[in-house]
Structure 1
Amino acid sequence: MHEPHPLFVRRLSRGQLMVLDLLAGLAFSLLFLTAVTNATGVPPWARLVIPFALGLPLALRRSWPMPIFCLTLALAILAVLLGAVTFAYVSPAYALYVVALADIGGARVPTTAIAGLTLVTLGGLVMAGGVRQTGEPTWTTHLDVPLIGIAALGGAWTVGRAVRERRVYAARDADRLAEQAVTEERLRIARELHDVVAHSVGLIAVKAGVANHVMSTKPEEAQDALRVIETASRSALVEMRHLLGVLRSAEVPDLGPAPGLSGLAGLAEQAKMAGVDVDLDVRLGSEGNRLPEGVELSVYRIVQEALTNVVKHAAPARCRVTLVADEREVRIEVMDDGPGRRVIPVEAAGHGLIGMRERIMMYGGEFEARGIPGQGFRVVARLPYVHTSPGGAS
C-alpha cells in the first residue's frame, strides 16, 4: 500500500504557509503584469508598480490580515478605474479569505447574507452574459467588472467562514470524544478495581467476623478462617499490584490470559471456604463452541460479583450457578437459598450490581437482580454475542 508523503498529512508551519503565500503573490504579480502590458492610457510607472503592489503584499496576509486586505482592495479599485487590470479583485479576495478565517469582525458580518448575495450576483452575471444586446446604455457594458469583484470577495469570505466553522466544530468534536474516552476509561478502571478487590475483601470480611466470634470457643475454626483470610489477602494483593503496574506502565504490558470460564471453579472453591456451597453447572452447547475473550471475562466478573454478594449477604447458604451458552448468547443465573438478611452491615449501597449491569449493557443484553420471598436472591443475565469456533468466525 502506497504511503502518503508527510507533506500532505501533516500541518504546515506558519513559515511554510508564508512561503506559499509569497509564491502565490509572485504568481499574481506576473499574471497582472501580463494583463497590464496591453492596457492603454496607463502611465509606464503604473504598469510595473500596480502588478507587484497587488501581488507581493499577499505574502504578509497571515501576519496583518486586515491591513493587507484594505491595501490590496484599494489598489484593486485603482487598477480597475485606470483600466489596468479588470480582474484585480482576485488579490483582495485572496487576502479576505484569511480575514474570514481569523474571525476578524466575523460576529458582526452576516455570512449567510453574503453567501446569498454572491450566488445571486453569479447568477445575474451568467444570465446577463447570455442576453447582452446591442444598443444598451454604455454604463451597463462595464457593470460586470464590479459584479465579478463582489462575487469574488463574497465567495472568499463565505469559504473562509465555512472553513473556520468546520475547524471549530472539529475541535469541539475532538474534545467531546476525548472527554468521552476518559470517562469510559475511568469507569472501566473503576469496574476492574471493584471486581478485583470486592470478591477477596468480601471473603476476608466474612471470615474475619467468623474468627472474631469463635476465637475463644472454637480456636480450630478460627484458625481455618485466618488461613482463608491469608490466602484471599495475598491473592488480592497480587491482583492489585498487577493492575496498578499496568496502569503505571507507559509501555504495552505483557498480560497473561484474562480470567474466563476456566476460573469459575476457583470462584466456587473460594466461596465454599466462606461458607457458601456452590453447585456449578456450565453448558457450552455444541462441541467446539467457545466464547469471545471479552464475553468470557464479563461472564467471569458477573459470576464473581454475584458470588461475592452471596458471601457477604447470605452465608452460610447454598448457591446454584447455571451458565448456558449457544451460538448467539450466554445466559447466567445465580440463585441462593440464603435467609435474605445481610451478614455484614453495609453503610452505603455498593457498586457491584451497577458494575454487572454496565458489563451486560455493553453487549446489549438483559439483567435482573431481585429477592425471591422465601427462596433467597436471584441474579439473571443474558449476553448476546457473535459465535466463534476454533476454525474462525461464522
Structure 2
Amino acid sequence: MEWARRLGGRGVADAVVAVIVALFVVYAFVDPPGPSSSWPAWSAWPVAAVVSFPIALRRRRPWAMLGLACAAGVLATVFGAVVVSTISVTFLPTVLVLYMVAATASIAWSLAGLAGCLFAAVTAVLIFYGQVLPGLAPAANPTEMPPHWPVEIGVIGVLLTAAWAIGTVVRWKRDTTARLVRHLAEAAVADERRRIARELHDVIGHSMSLIAVKATVANHVADARPQEVRAALAVIEQTSRSTLTEIHRVLDLLRSDGEPQQPHVPAPGMADLPELAAHARSAGVEVDLTVREEAALPPAVAVSVYRIVQQALTNVVTHAAPTRCSVNVDVDGREAVIEVVDDGGRHGRPPRAGRSGHGLIGMRERTKMYGGTFSAGHRPEGGFRVSARLPYDLNGTEA
C-alpha cells in the first residue's frame, strides 16, 4: 500500500508497536488491579491513542515525540485518567521513544532527556497520589496491587533508565562500527596508493634507466657512428611510447567514474618477459632468459612476476651494464620461483653497495604479499643475485 511504502519497513513496525501498546494501555485501564478511574470506561480508548501515538513517529521526530509522549503521560496521570498501580503503563510509550532518542542523540542531550522525563514522571505520580487518589471511589474487590507510590516511581525510573542505557550502547556500537568502516576504507585507499606508487616506480625506473643508457651511447658515438645513434633513438622512442601507455594504464586507476578513461591496456604478464629481456640487451646487458611454465599463472601473480623481473633487470642496467645476466622463471602450478643473477660490472666498474632503494623494497613487498620469500645480495664470485618465491593457489591469492 502507498502509506506503507512512504513510511518504510521500520515506520510500519513502529505503527504496529504503537497499536499494541495502545491496546495494552486500554486493557490496564479497563481491568485495573486497584481502584478504577473516575473517567468513563470509553475514555480509555482516546487516552490510550494519544499516549501511544508518539511511538509511530519516533524515528522521524524523536525529540518532539519524546516531549509529546512524556506530556501525554503526565497529563493523563495528573487529571486522573490512569488507574492506581498501573501508572507506569502510561509512561511505556515514553520509554520506547527515549530509547530512540538515546540511540540517535549525543550522550549529553539524551541524558538531559532522561532527567527531564524522570522529573516529570515523579512529579506526576506524587500529584496523583497526593490529590487524585483520595477522591477516587474505593475498589469493589480487594486490590491485587495496593497503592504504593514508591513502587510506581521505582518502576518508571528503572524502565526509563534501562531504555536510555540500551539506546546509548546501541549508538556507541553503531558509531564504533562506522569508525571501523571508515578506518578500513582509508587503509584500503592507502594500500591502493602504495600499490600504484610501486607500479609507477617499476615502470618509470625501468624505462628511464634504459633511455638514459641509450642516450649516453648516442651522445658518445654521435659523430663516429651515426647508424648506432639512429638505432639508439629508435629504442628510446619505442621505450618512451610503451612507458607512456603503461603510465596511462596505472593513472587510470586514480580517475573517478565520471572522468574519461584511456583505452584499456592489458596488464603485463609472462608473455611480456621476452620484451623486457630485449630492452635490457639493447642497453648492453647480455640477458639469458629461461621461462618454464607448467601451469598458467593467475593474472595478479603474473603481474608480480613481471614487475620483479623488470625491477631486477633495471638494477642490472643501472648498476652493472654492460654485463651478462641470467633470468630464470620457474612456474610449477604451486609457486613461481624467480632468479636474476648478473656477473657484475665490467671494466673494473665498482658495484653499488647493497643496491638499496625502493626497487628492492618493492620486490620484497610483492613477494611478502603472497607469503613468499625474497633475498638479494652480492655473490662471493662477483655480481648480484635476486631470488623470489611466490606461492599461490589457483585464485592468485596466498597459498
TM-score bucket (shorter structure): 0.7 to 0.9
**Aligned with 1:64: secondary structure?**
helix
**Aligned with 2:90: secondary structure?**
coil
| Aligned-partner Cα distance in 1 for 2:252–2:175 | 38
Given candidates 318, 322, 326, the residue that maps to 1:312 is 318
For the structure 1 residues 146 and 249, does the alpha-carbon distance in structure 2 shift closer, same or farther, using more than 3 Å as the test? Answer: closer
| Matched residue, 1:158 | 165
| Matched residue, 1:215 | 222
Cα deviation digits, residues 290-309 of structure 1 (max 9, x gap) = 32221111111100111011
**Do 1:50 and 1:75's aligned partners in 2 also have CA atoms closer than 8 Å?**
no
**Do 1:290 and 1:387's aligned partners in 2 also have CA atoms closer than 8 Å?**
no
Instruction: For 1:219, give the aligned amino acid.
Output: P
Given candidates 276, 287, 295, the residue that maps to 1:278 is 287
For the structure 1 residues 18 and 265, does the alpha-carbon distance in structure 2 shift closer, same or farther, using more than 3 Å as the test? Answer: closer
Pair 1:296-2:305 in alignment: no
Deviation at 1:361, TM superposition (A): 1.3
| Aligned-partner Cα distance in 2 for 1:371–1:317 | 15
TM-score of the superposed pair, with normalisation by structure 1? 0.74
| Aligned-partner Cα distance in 2 for 1:41–1:237 | 87
**Do 1:42 and 1:83's aligned partners in 2 also have CA atoms closer than 8 Å?**
no
| Matched residue, 1:375 | 382
Pair 1:33-2:26 in alignment: yes
Deviation at 1:384, TM superposition (A): 0.9
| Aligned-partner Cα distance in 2 for 1:48–1:373 | 97
| Matched residue, 1:133 | none
| Aligned-partner Cα distance in 1 for 2:150–2:229 | 103
**Do 2:320 and 2:351's aligned partners in 1 also have CA atoms closer than 8 Å?**
yes
For the structure 1 residues 291 and 41, does the alpha-carbon distance in structure 2 shift closer, same or farther, using more than 3 Å as the test? Answer: closer
| Aligned-partner Cα distance in 2 for 1:219–1:323 | 37
Given candidates 226, 234, 252, the residue that maps to 1:227 is 234
For the structure 1 residues 73 and 34, does the alpha-carbon distance in structure 2 shift closer, same or farther, using more than 3 Å as the test? Answer: closer
| Aligned-partner Cα distance in 2 for 1:265–1:55 | 78
| Matched residue, 1:54 | 51
**Do 2:372 and 2:390's aligned partners in 1 also have CA atoms closer than 8 Å?**
yes
Deviation at 1:209, TM superposition (A): 1.4
For the structure 1 residues 154 and 108, does the alpha-carbon distance in structure 2 shift closer, same or farther, using more than 3 Å as the test? Answer: closer
Given candidates 96, 99, 104, the residue that maps to 2:98 is 96
Cα deviation digits, residues 291-338 of structure 1 (max 9, x gap) = 222111111110011101111111100001122233432221111112
**Aligned with 2:231: secondary structure?**
helix
For the structure 1 residues 319 and 155, does the alpha-carbon distance in structure 2 shift closer, same or farther, using more than 3 Å as the test? Answer: same
Root-mean-square deviation (CA), in Å? 3.8
Deviation at 1:70, TM superposition (A): 4.0
Aligned residues: 347
**Do 2:325 and 2:341's aligned partners in 1 also have CA atoms closer than 8 Å?**
yes
Deviation at 1:275, TM superposition (A): 0.2
Q: Which moved more, 1:183-192 or 1:34-43?
A: 34-43
For the structure 1 residues 95 and 72, does the alpha-carbon distance in structure 2 shift closer, same or farther, using more than 3 Å as the test? Answer: farther
Q: Which moved more, 1:352-361 or 1:200-209?
A: 352-361
| Aligned-partner Cα distance in 2 for 1:386–1:18 | 48
Cα deviation digits, residues 75-133 of structure 1 (max 9, x gap) = 57656974284533322211210231133544896xxxxxxxxxxxxxxxxxxxxxxxx
Alignment of 1:360-371 (within 5 A): 360-371=367-378
**Aligned with 2:268: secondary structure?**
coil
| Matched residue, 1:42 | 38
Structure 1: gaps of 5 or more residues: 1-7, 110-137, 389-393
For the structure 1 residues 357 and 68, does the alpha-carbon distance in structure 2 shift closer, same or farther, using more than 3 Å as the test? Answer: farther
Deviation at 1:210, TM superposition (A): 1.6
For the structure 1 residues 236 and 154, does the alpha-carbon distance in structure 2 shift closer, same or farther, using more than 3 Å as the test? Answer: same
Cα deviation digits, residues 51-93 of structure 1 (max 9, x gap) = 2442234436514265346425535765697428453332221
**Do 1:68 and 1:95's aligned partners in 2 also have CA atoms closer than 8 Å?**
no
**Aligned with 2:387: secondary structure?**
strand
Deviation at 1:280, TM superposition (A): 1.3
Cα deviation digits, residues 208-258 of structure 1 (max 9, x gap) = 112222223443333322222122112222333344456547389874543
**Aligned with 2:191: secondary structure?**
helix
Pair 1:355-2:337 in alignment: no
What's the % identity of the aligned pairs? 42
Instruction: For 2:93, give the aligned amino acid.
Output: S
